[in-house]
Every structure is written in C-alpha cells, then in structure tokens.
Amino acid sequence: MGDYASKSWWLESLPEPIVANAPLAGAQRADVAVIGGGYTGLSTAYHLKRLDPAIDVRVVEADVCGFGASGRNGGFSMTLFGLTKGITRLRFDDQRARAAHRYMEAAVDGLHELITENRIDCDYERSGYLLVGTSPAQVRRVEHDFRIIEKWGAKGIERWERQRLAEEFHTDYYRIGWFEPRCGILQPAKLARGMKALAEKLGAQIYENSPVTGFSKNAGGGYIVKTPAGELRSEYLVLATNAYSVLFPQLRALQRPVFTHIVMSEPLSASRMESIGWHCRAGVEDARDLIHYYRLTRDNRIVMGGGDVSLTYGADLDRDLNEKTFAHLERHVTEVFPQLRGIRFTHRWGGPVSVTLDMAPVIGFLGADRKAIFSLGCIGHGVSLTHYNGLTIAELIAGRRTWRTGMFFVGRKVLPWPSDPVTHGAVHVIRGFMKLEDRIYYK
C-alpha cells in the first residue's frame, strides 16, 4: 500500500488509519467488474446493489479507495458540467447545455440525499457555492452566465452585488457573485471511505492494493481484468478510472490528466474568523481561466486551490508537488483577505484531473455491445458528477431506461487527443495563453 496519508490532509486526518482490503488473488468471476475505487466506481457498485441485490459486483482498486482524486480534491458539491454554462452551450447547443445543468442540479441534490439519508460522516455542509467576479472581465463572464440562466428560467441562483459580498466577506475584492444555496462542501476522503462502507454493506466486494495490469475482451464474450496476483472475469466492465485512464491503451487518447494543487492554512482563531466574516461558509471560485477555488474546513482552516496546473507527458502521474503554484496560492489568500497576513500554512498537495479535448464529461462505451462502460472528463468539478454518473452507469447495466441514460453525453463521440509530443506542445501553448490572459485580462 502506498503512503496514502501523505497525499492530502483529507487522507492524513481520517479518524482511523486505513486497513486495506485483501487484494484480488487467483481466478475470480463476477457479473460486473469495476476498475477504480474512487467516487465513480464506488457509486456504481452501490447503486448496482440497490437496483439488483443479486448482482455480483467487484471493485478492483490499485491502492486504497480514495487514494486518487476522490481523496485529494477541494470537496465542492456543485452544478458545473465541465466549465462555464457559456462554454457548454458553445460546444453543444442551448438545449443540451440546459439539460446538463438540470443533470448537475439533480447530481447535487442526489449527493445531498445520499449523505444525509445514510448518515455518512464527511463534514458535509450545505452552505452553497459562490462564483465571484473580481475584475471587469470576470464580471462580464459571470454576467454572461446569468443571462443564459435567465433565458432558461432556471431557479435557485441568487445574484450578490458588491455591497452584499463586502458585508459577507469583509473584503472589497469581489465585484459580483453567483450564489447557489443547493451546493455544499465536504471532506472528500471521508466521503470516499463512507461510500466504500456503504457499497460493502450492500454486498459489493472490493479488492484494494490491486493495480490492474490490463483488461481485454474474451473471444466468447465478457471481459477479463488482470492484476499481479489474480484475474477477474465478468460480463460487464466499468472503467471508473477518470484521470488514471491514461494508464490503459484503450482509453489513453480520450483524456489527459493535468494536476491541480492545494494549500491549507492553520485553523483560524476566533478573532481571525471574525475579521474575514465568511458566515455563509460557502465554497468560492473566481471566474478566471485558471480558477482559484477555496473553502473552509470544519475546524476553520482555509483550503485554497487552483491558480495554475501542472502538465504531464504520457502516463506520468507524478506531478503532485509544484512549489511555484503553492507559493502563488499562499499569496492569493492574503490578496483576497489582507487581514490574514502572517497566517501559517501547514499542508500542500496535488492531484490529477481528467480533461477531455472538448472540456466536457462523457460516459462512453468500448465495443458495440455496450458492456464496457467508461466515465471521463470531470474537468475538476467531479464530486457530485461522479456520484451521479455511478447511478447512470448502474442503470445502463441493469437495463433501466431513464432520463439519465438518455442524456446527450452518454455514448457521445469523444474527440481524441493527438499523439503525446503534439499534445504536450499544444497544452503548454494553451496554458501559457490562459496564464497571460489571466494576468492581463481576468486579473
């Protein structure tokens, strides 16, 4: 087992040390094999067992459940589908962008119900999500999404003007706010471990410390998943690997991993908390290209992430640390809240994000029989999306036709990334342009 506790404060601060499940060993059979023990895989297993308790579903996880992005993200349950509403509408069309927003509202509400009804201890707060504009260009971007929402007649979103923001946050940094009360924040590693316990309670079997070395389709039907110590044969295969899909040739070109980074402060004293306000405790994002996202923990630490990304080459997944980005994030805390100068930062970490070429999520299929299903492209906004995608995938396998299984991004064509050298050069150019645009235009 890897040193999971070093991967994030979320994993380090779990109430009990993780004792890993036994790895996959020998020749095994199941109805459904799930590769990946993060949110997507665990949600798929949980919902499959709810839909059909007799189904034999097995999850194969390379390390421990929650080791990847599910245990390192910012912990935002939010309605973003990919990037902004405007970008989604431009990539698809107005009708599909509206449908995506409805799907994500249902995803956020569904995760709320999942956590509260099952009493998952994950420091969940339904404190809302706040998108802020901090410059004239950012204000125009937020206003554009407001116009889209108004055209759709969507409810449940509040407009916060500059005075309201200053009163709430005791800073003059914000110029406009988009507030969604239905959204929330949570402790992501606790959620992952809680989902593991729920799936196992219903009878799903989970193997940890079982890195998949390959998978293939059997000549007579079904699939075989191989690990160093065993193999698992199944009728259905779910590839719940998101950014780690780069490790598998069948999925490698469909997405690329980039790394986002996070810093965390010491717990704020009562006087420091009073100085910044933040009584709503909402998770906050700004409207830059390379966004900042930040929130409070239960013990009032500030978690600040984003600002830049680290790029990878090929199957390289060792980009957790970026000292330059960490320093930028620490400076940004006091840029937003000058009254916190001198605050101490205690933790720094990073994790991978799955990015499709068109910056939009997908649930797709390998093969015409639609029995190998993958989920990719959360674009850093996957906490609620991945849980809901797990339900959608479970419905597909169980043969349930619902409005979710008919969504436009289920089975959509995915534009492949070009070869590694071309992709590497192109994404460096794109990242450089975004950084320049943020510095000059969206600052």
Question: Mean of the pLDDT values across residues 379-405?
Answer: 96
pLDDT at 1 over 50: no
Mean pLDDT of the chain: 95
Nearest to 17 by CA among 72, 66, 58: 66
Say what the pLDDT of residue 68 is. 95
Say what the pLDDT of residue 4 is. 87
Q: Which range is most confident: 85-94, 274-283, 415-424? A: 274-283
- Give 245's strand partners: none
| Pairwise CA distance, residues 16 & 398, whole Å | 35
- Cβ contact 387:114 at 8 Å: yes
Question: CATH code for 4-442?
Answer: 3.50.50.60
By three-state DSSP, how is residue 52 classified?
coil
Biggest CA–CA distance in the chain, Å, is 68
- Cβ contact 77:382 at 8 Å: no
Say what the pLDDT of residue 331 is. 97
| Pairwise CA distance, residues 254 & 358, whole Å | 10
Query: Residue with structure tokens 């479970």?
Result: 394
Per-residue pLDDT tens over the stretch 137-161? 999 999 999 999 999 998 899 999 9
| Pairwise CA distance, residues 292 & 305, whole Å | 6
Nearest to 312 by CA among 429, 430, 418, 420: 420
Say what the pLDDT of residue 2 is. 55
Query: Residue with structure tokens 């989604």?
Result: 88
pLDDT at 220 over 90: no
- Cβ contact 304:295 at 8 Å: no
Please give the radius of gyration of the chain, using alpha carbons only, rounded to the nearest integer: 21
| Pairwise CA distance, residues 203 & 55, whole Å | 9
Residue 44 binned pLDDT confidence (cut-offs 50, 70, 90): very high
Per-residue pLDDT tens over the stretch 23-39? 999 999 999 999 999 99
CA dihedral 15, 21, 23, 24 (to 10 degrees): -130
Say what the pLDDT of residue 238 is. 98
Say what the pLDDT of residue 307 is. 93
pTM recorded for the entire structure:
0.96
Nearest to 398 by CA among 70, 53, 129: 53
Q: What are phi and psi of 132, to 5 degrees?
A: -115, 145
- Cβ contact 267:300 at 8 Å: yes
Per-residue pLDDT tens over the stretch 294-308? 999 999 999 999 999
Query: Residue with structure tokens 């431009």?
Result: 90
